[in-house]
Amino acid sequence: MAAAQVQQQELSQSNEISKNETFPMDKNSYTYTIRKGKMSDISQLRHVEISAGNRYRTIGLNVVADSNIVDSERLASMTDANHLWVAIDKFGPIGFLCGEELDGNFHIVEVSVSHECQGRGIGRSLMATMLEQITTERSFKSVTLTTYRSVAWNGPWFSRMGFGEVHPRLLGIAYDSILETEEAQYGFDKQERCLMMKDLFY
């Protein structure tokens, strides 16, 4: 799909999001919906995150697949702040995106799509839904995240979403701590990880 077509599709999706809480999508005859997360979703998101993590085993990054999932209390806090978005099909959750405020920015804590459901635009839809709401809130300077710089569905994918790499210390000690301490405890190689940012324009 050409870049212009992608941008047009995302604009159309954003307009739909502003009118409805749910976001129905149909790609290649696979129908799913994006909606705000509920407390009752939290227990089911563990399975989504584990499934998504298994893809890393195919490239030898077992450390990611074996790392701890997002804590349920932290998920509850993000849900309470309306900063959890869930993709569901007729069987239940198949993807989610969540984040929280960090030094004036909206920091994406996790975006996961079940392994068997990847490649259908679900991650892109979650990102579009989140960006629409965050922009409407007008409370954040930018959107940030940490990821693997070279893994195809990490750094390069986020680059296509408009994110660019930035040095953590430019955004403050809290960001430096994520890469140096928080991620290091899970065994992530900080040389392969990076911080990415997308500015918000109001």
For residue range 110-134, list pLDDT tens digits in order: 999 999 999 999 999 999 999 999 9
Strands 92-102 and 142-148, by their bridges, are unpaired
CA 142 – CA 52 distance, rounded (Å): 26
Q: Place 17 in a pLDDT band, splitting at 50, 70 and 90.
A: very low
Could you tell me the residue range of the domain that residue 84 belongs to? 29-199
**Within-domain flag for 75:** yes
Domain tally, the chain: 1
**Within-domain flag for 83:** yes
When comparing pLDDT for 2 and 74, which is higher?
Answer: 74
CA 107 – CA 98 distance, rounded (Å): 9
Give per-residue pLDDT as tens, 137-171.
Answer: 999 999 999 999 999 999 999 999 999 999 998 99
**Within-domain flag for 9:** no
Q: Per the structure block, which two tokens stand in for 175?
A: 């960001």
